[in-house]
Amino acid sequence: MPDRLEACVDALFIYPIKACGAMRVTQLDITPSGLIAGDREWAVIDEKNEVTWQGAHPRLALVRPTLEGGVLRLAAPGEAVVEVTAATEPRTVQMWNDSVKEMESFAGLDAGDAAAAMLQRVTGAPLRLVRFGALALARRGTNPLHLVSMPSLDELNAHLAGEGLAEAEALRFRPNLLLGAAAEPLLPFIEEQVTQVHGGEGERAWQMPVSAPCIRCVVPGVSPLSGEMNEDLPPAVAQLSGQRFPGGPSVFGVYATPAPGTRICSGDRLWLELNF
């Protein structure tokens, strides 16, 4: 196998609210601090002011936010759209940092009662929407971009079909960049062998190192369409991962660190630099 492979950007997504649904976009704009503009800048907190997740509230997957002109809109089945134009009430947010195994405190801003009421109707729990401050966005251990390849998803779905299980949608794995093949097919899980992704041309050329594999929890079991948990899916992901990494944690997809100030567009041609 060559040490460089051609690929392309199959699809791009941001998640305006951490733990809520995806927003498909045509480009990812990387901020000067190296983060994806508009991605996970908001979060949902519980009555302890702790950032919560789909593992605790699977129906958060039904909340589908969109960003347009600085306005955050929240949609969900059976709900009127809620518009959030500003978050003004200061609130101290507690957030678990898995990289250092400790709870951290950050300043945030509450989005108000209308958003909170919608979250409670959808999930049945007293949740609130907050906007992160700059320190929370730049916290230790942040993984800016999540990359999954289509061949990996196809391999998983072939495995699921063989077990008589329903296929998994790509959004269960919450990718920012869905990697597709270009001229030649890509092997399943090729992203795990990538050290750098190269894109752009001339003065707009960029490179993006792959920083770590994505260790999976129960969240891929949550359907982005129904908000229901499929308990069969995480074990299937773990079984395939165990074939590649015996004795290791369950892995699917990788994290990457985009260059500040760059732009990644849907359909872009990419070059994958491999570690062998």
Q: Which CATH class is domain 4-33+143-274?
A: mainly beta
Mean pLDDT of the chain: 95
pLDDT at 2: 60
The CA-based angle 231-42-255, given to 5 degrees, is 60
Q: How confident is the model at residue 116 (pLDDT cuts 50, 70, 90)?
A: very high
Angle between helices 150-162 and 233-244 (to 10 degrees): 110
Tokens of 1: 């196998």
pLDDT at 26: 98
Residues 93-100 have a mean pLDDT of 88
pLDDT at 214: 96
Task: Round to whole Å and give the CA distance between 75 and 62.
Answer: 8
The DSSP result for 12-28, as a single string, is EEE-SBTTS--EEESEE
Does the pTM surpass 0.75? The reply is yes
Query: Is the predicted pLDDT of residue 185 greater than 60, yes or no?
Result: yes
pLDDT at 273: 96
Task: Round to whole Å and give the CA distance between 84 and 219.
Answer: 26
Query: Is the predicted pLDDT of residue 115 greater than 90, yes or no?
Result: yes
Query: Is the predicted pLDDT of residue 139 greater than 90, yes or no?
Result: no
* Of 59, 53, 58, residue with least CA distance to 76: 59
Q: How confident is the model at residue 22 (pLDDT cuts 50, 70, 90)?
A: very high
Query: Is the predicted pLDDT of residue 82 greater than 70, yes or no?
Result: yes
Domain limits, the chain: 4-33+143-274, 42-137
Residues 26-33 have a mean pLDDT of 96
Residues 45-72 have a mean pLDDT of 96
